[in-house]
Amino acid sequence: MPKHVRSRKGAPGIVEVAARAGVSPATVSRFFNTPDMVKLPTRTRIERAANDLGYIRDRMAGSMHNRFSGTIGIIVPTIDNAIFSELIESFASRLLVHDRTMLIAAHGYELEREVAIVRSLLERRIDGIALIGFDHDPIALNMLAQRNVPVVSIWNFSETSDLPCIGANNFKAGQMAVEHLLELGHTKISFIFADTKGNDRARARLDGAIGKAKEGGIQVSADAIHTCSYDVGEAKRLVVNILKSEPKTAIVCGNDIISHGAMFACQALHLKVPDAVSIIGIGDFQGSAHMEPGLTTIRLPAKKIGALAADTLVEMNETGRPNPEFRREVELNFIRRGSTAAPCDE
């Protein structure tokens, strides 16, 4: 008599279902995996038996042969933030459509933690993984490559990336934001962006913004460029300080979180937006459309990126091409709302 700790809590297995249906376990397995290979009457019997017993498949056991676990990972900088929540939701629900499950982890913008996270996901046998942007620990990337796990970099786009990617041209997003301000006639512009260390998206946006400003003949002094974390309160405090000391007519924010803080800062200082100060963001997060005034911003199609990423990873599994030269650029949308206008004469 086997003396196992406890066999699976008494839950019925494929063997019990087979016995009840009067078939072999192999046939029950086929019923779930390749139903077409089972004759209809047999199918009916198995279905009944499975339902009667309340049978639930053990995909972990199945995965031992299957090469695939049905689980796909995603690592984001943070979950607790409007930035990626739309992406995560669409990625997850799209995976569900493909009968896959999402394993998610956040590194809190500390790239070093990525190695441990990747390892832990790999231990769970993920079939693929989505990573945000291009800045990653080579050790983590190596572990993935060694095991031939499909990887896609999402959010940012580059024609020359090492990883397959699905995302928007963040450089262009920065350009577009500044271009709009230039067209309106702004010359005194503040740049507030997320820390660009280990964050290629922020870096690309900032480079695009500064580049465009210089093209437009604006001289961008170092003290017009500020770093701010993804925090409304911090952004608000920062912008209050900036507006108190530097006379600016416009603020380009590296993302909408910062824009929200900037809007509140102006309200706190009783500076009218857009009359006294124009504010433009990047992202178009929840709420940006409904603030007063509405936030002018460059929209990134987060939902689309999430869905495409899910589709792509699943396809890579199914076709067996792990890391092809796959790249997909999604469009950026300039959304004009009320937070920007031509500068007033002084």
Choose among DNA, a second copy, none what residue 289 binds, the Cβ cut-off being 5 to 8 Å by kind.
a second copy
Give dist(CA 324, CA 322) in Å, integer. Answer: 6
Long-range (24+ apart) CB contacts under 8 A made by 15-24 are 16/53, 16/55, 17/46, 17/49, 17/50, 17/53, 17/55, 18/49, 20/49, 20/52, 20/53, 21/45, 21/46, 21/48, 21/49, 21/50
Out of a second copy, DNA, none, which partner does residue 138 contact, by CB within 5 to 8 A per kind? none
Does residue number 3 form part of the binding site for a second copy (CB under 8 A)? no
Verify binding: residue 86, a second copy, rule CB under 8 A: yes
**Is 335 near a second copy (CB under 8 A)?**
no
Residue 140 near residue 115 (C-beta atoms within 8 A): yes
Q: Which stretch binds a second copy (CB under 8 A): 14-22, 44-52, 77-85, 198-206?
A: 77-85
For residue 19, the minimal CB distance to DNA (Å) is: 11
Among 44, 48, 51, 66, binds DNA (CB under 7 A): 66
Give the span between the Cα atoms of 165 and 56, in whole angstroms.
36
Instruction: Name the binder of 312 from a second copy, DNA, none, CB < 5-8 A by kind.
Output: none
37 binds DNA (CB under 7 A): yes
Q: Cβ of residue 2: shortest distance to DNA, in angstroms?
A: 5
Q: Is the dihedral of CA 338, 341, 345, 346 positive or negative?
A: positive
Any contact of residue 19 with DNA (CB under 7 A)? no
Binding to a second copy by residue 241, rule CB under 8 A?
no
Q: Which of 297, 309, 76, 327 is nearest to 177 (CA)?
A: 297
Identify residue 102 by its one-letter amino acid code: M
Q: Which of residues 126-145 bind a second copy (CB under 8 A)?
A: 143
Q: Does 58 bind DNA (CB under 7 A)?
A: yes
Strands (E), the chain: 71-76, 101-106, 129-132, 151-156, 165-168, 189-193, 225-227, 250-253, 278-283, 296-299, 327-329, 333-335
Measuring CA to CA, which residue among 194, 198, 343 is closest to residue 283? 194
Chain residues in the site for a second copy (CB under 8 A): 4-6, 8-9, 11, 54, 56-61, 63-65, 67, 69-71, 78-82, 85-86, 88-90, 92-93, 96, 101-106, 119-125, 143, 146-148, 232-233, 236, 260-261, 264, 267-268, 286-287, 289-292
Chain residues in the site for DNA (CB under 7 A): 2-5, 7-8, 13-15, 22-30, 32-34, 36-39, 41-42, 57-58, 61-62, 64-66
